[in-house]
Structure formats: C-alpha cells, structure tokens
Amino acid sequence: MSSKDEKKAILDRLLKKYNSRSAKNIDTNRRIIVKPAEIYKNYPQNNAEIAKKQCLNEAASSLLELGFVAVDYLKFSEDIEKIYLCEEKLDAIYEYLKKEYQVVPQSAVSRQIQETVKKYRVAGGPMVQRYCEEVLRQAEDPRLTMVPERIAANLKMIDFLEQNQENLYAREASMLVYGDSKWFEDNNREEVCTFLRGATETPREDSEKNDAILGLFYIAPAEQEIFIKGSWNIAWEQYSLETSKLQGGLAITSGDLQRIQRITVTSPAVLTVENKASYQRIQPTDCAMMYLGGFAGRHQIQFLRKVIHDNPDVKYQHFGDIDVGGFLIHRHLCRETGQDFALYCMGIEQLKDARFQNCLKALTDSDRSRLETLTRDASYSGVLNYMKEHNVKLEQEIVSYYLEKDRGTL
C-alpha cells in the first residue's frame, strides 16, 4: 500500500466506527480509535515489514498535520499505539475524501436520503409512506449501502402508481415518470414490484411474473396476445372469425379476449404447444392449436378456461420439451385450467427414437434436483425415471420437425 492508500484505510476504519456508534444512538464521551494492527496486522510484531510500518506511520503523521486525527506513540518509540478521530473535523474529512478519493461520505448520503424522504412524505399516499418508513429503517443500519438516486427513482414511480387511474402500458408509465420508455424495465422494475407485493400483501404465485402486480395499478407490461391456428371459430357480439383457412393462424389481443361470446373447436382435439418454432412448424389438420411460450399466463389461462367451458367433449393435449421444465409447464397448465391435458409426443418413445439421438442432452444438476420431486407424480414417473436412468432430455423442435416430415408437409 502507498501512503495515500494507508491514509484512506485509516480514515475508512475510523469513520466506520463513528457511523456504527451514531446509528446506535450511543451517548458517550469515549473517542473513536484505531490501532495500527487493524490496518496492518503485523504492525506490533517483531517480524513486521519495515517498509509497511513506515508507510502507515507516514500516513498517520500526514493526517495528524491535516488535523483529522490525533496520535499516541509508544514510550521511547516511533511506533504508534493509537490513532484517534477528531470528530470536530468530520466535515473537512468528508470533503478531503471526496476530493482525493471521490468518496461520498455516509453523512452526505444520509442527508440526501432524508431530504428525498421528507419531500415525498408530505403528500404521499400509504404506499409511499410505507416505502419511506422502510428506507429510514434501513438507513439506520451502517452495514447497508444505500443509493439516494435509486431511492428517489423508486419513490417517483411508487408515487405515480399510487395516484394513477389510467390504463397504461409499462413503457408508457416509464416515459411519463422517467422520460425514457425502457428506464423502468432496465433499472428498478423488479425492486419496485417486489416492494408493491409486500405492501399489498400479494404474494407471487408459482410461475407468475413479478410485474403482474402492476395490474393492480392499471399498468400492463404490454398488450397480451393469444396465438392460435387450426380449427377455431371465435364469436364476438357482432361477428365471428373462422381460423381454419389461415395457415399461419392469428393473434387475439387481451382487450378483444374480454368480449368473446363463444369459442367453438371444430376438430376433435385442442393442442397447446410450448415453443414457437414447433408451433410454427406444425400444420394442424385435425386439431385446434394454441401457442403458450412457456408457463401459461393469466390471459392464456382465461382463454383456455373459456375453450374448455364451451367445448367439454374435446380432447385436450399438450406438446412441449421432454425435460423437467416441460413437465412443470404441463402440470401448471392442468392445475390452472382444471383440465387434464394429455401429453403429446413427450414420452419414452421419443427419447428412444434413433433419429433424435444426436439431439439428446445430458441432465444438469438443477434438472436432477427438480426431477426427484416431480417423479413422485405418477403422470410423469415413467418418462422421468427413464430420463434419470439414461441421463437424457430432449427439446421439442426436432420432434415437431420430423412429425411434419413424416406427414409430407415439408
């Protein structure tokens, strides 16, 4: 370490002790001290490096000349016994650290946080008040590093959300609050949404996105779309839509979803598909297809419940990856819709198929840990035990490719 580094180390140690004592509201006349061994542990030892001791001594002497510290020396020696903080020089010390080391002092951070909180507490609603209380409570802990700018940005959004009565997309809200459509998404969305869930006592459900909580404040991440193709007839109040002639299918927005009067499936089966490439590859000849994209979202579940209600005698199937995630998606789909979806091309037969052997992947440690729990479900135990025994899993895209190749559609 250089003498400059040692000076910073001495001041950092002294200020850390000072801030810790201040946070605990300890009223005492005892001075804040640092012993040299706290900076260089071998300082008092006979085998200490002379250069390091000298460097520390020079740093303490320099700080003494600046008036930032007082120094006690051992009798009849140049070795330091104790270094004391001169508390009356705190402001000068903070300015020195800012100028020489670009360090923002904790006191300045605390003052900035107090000013921000005071500004919002004057007229803020219950959510703002709660966030301010949490911030002030955290500010008392010297072990926590707090960023005033982050706190101000969070309060700005929480205050906006609490007052908002307009249906907006998340990026529109970001523009209105920060002047940048992606700022909320890129910087503090998760933090704000986690706070809102705690404040509203709205725990996150399995597979639910954290930002779904924004719906309580009239904010939608984006217009949700339901992708379907095959044998569907969707009826609204004034018109109906037949999809069988549309090879690529269509997308229904969540806004239009609310006004659907009836959904008729004009084929024997409904097939939900996990991944987009497989959804796009398969040309439905005897089913009505729907793209999920992973765990089914709120609007997808709403749509499927309507489908099931209107078409109780249709066969329901699901096609996804032959891996733990694929089966978890299937289980979630069945639970949320209340319908038993049969597994489609997601079994041992596909894992054994000679055409797919080059595409098999080994299980990860995460796969194995999740697999143990899921194996207890009889619906999956056979294929999961095979996967575990042979250390394999398979993505659905190769399966859908050969399904269409066998049908002669490629």
Q: Which pLDDT score is estimated for 203? A: 78
Task: Please write down the long-range contacts of 282-286, taking CB distance under 8 Å and 24 or more positions apart.
Answer: 282/400, 282/403, 282/404, 283/247, 283/404, 283/407, 283/409, 284/229, 284/230, 284/231, 285/407
On whether the CB atoms of residues 128 and 94 are closer than 8 A, the answer is no
- Of 102, 170, 93, 161, whose CA–CA distance to 131 is shortest? 161
Q: Which pLDDT score is estimated for 231? A: 93
> The tokens 């056979």 sit on which residue?
382
CATH 3.40.50.1980 correct for 225-407: no
Distances (CA, A) of 135 to 107, 123, 131, 148, 323: 15, 17, 6, 10, 43
SS3 229: strand
On whether the CB atoms of residues 211 and 193 are closer than 8 A, the answer is yes
- Of 173, 175, 195, whose CA–CA distance to 127 is shortest? 195
Domain coordinates in residue numbering, the chain:
3-103, 107-220, 225-407
Residue 114, C-beta contacts closer than 8 angstroms, at least 6 positions apart: 136, 139
Q: Which pLDDT score is estimated for 75? A: 87
Q: Which pLDDT score is estimated for 27? A: 65
H helix intervals, 102-226? 106-121, 126-139, 148-163, 170-178, 183-187, 189-200
10-residue stretch averages of pLDDT, the chain, 410 residues long: 83 83 68 92 88 92 94 90 92 85 70 86 91 87 76 96 91 95 92 92 73 86 86 92 89 87 95 95 92 86 95 96 93 94 96 95 90 88 95 96 84
Size (the chain), residues: 410
Question: Radius of gyration of the chain from Cα atoms?
Answer: 32
> The tokens 């927005």 sit on which residue?
253
Residue 366, C-beta contacts closer than 8 angstroms, at least 6 positions apart: none
What CA–CA distance (Å, rounded) separates 201 from 195?
10
Residue 92, C-beta contacts closer than 8 angstroms, at least 6 positions apart: 66, 67, 68
Q: What does the block give as tokens for 107? A: 């006191």
What CA–CA distance (Å, rounded) separates 366 from 376?
17
Residue 356, C-beta contacts closer than 8 angstroms, at least 6 positions apart: 350, 394, 398, 399, 402
Q: Which pLDDT score is estimated for 290? A: 97
CA triple 121-127-132, angle to 5 deg: 45
CA triple 200-215-239, angle to 5 deg: 150
Q: Which pLDDT score is estimated for 216? A: 83
On whether the CB atoms of residues 351 and 387 are closer than 8 A, the answer is yes
Q: What number of other Cβ atoms are within 10 A of residue 219's Cβ?
A: 23
Output the 3-class SS for 67-102: CCEEEEECCCCCCEEEEEECHHHHHHHHHHHHHHHC
- Of 11, 36, 3, whose CA–CA distance to 96 is shortest? 11
Q: Half-sphere exposure (CA, 13 Å, Cβ side) for 359?
A: 18
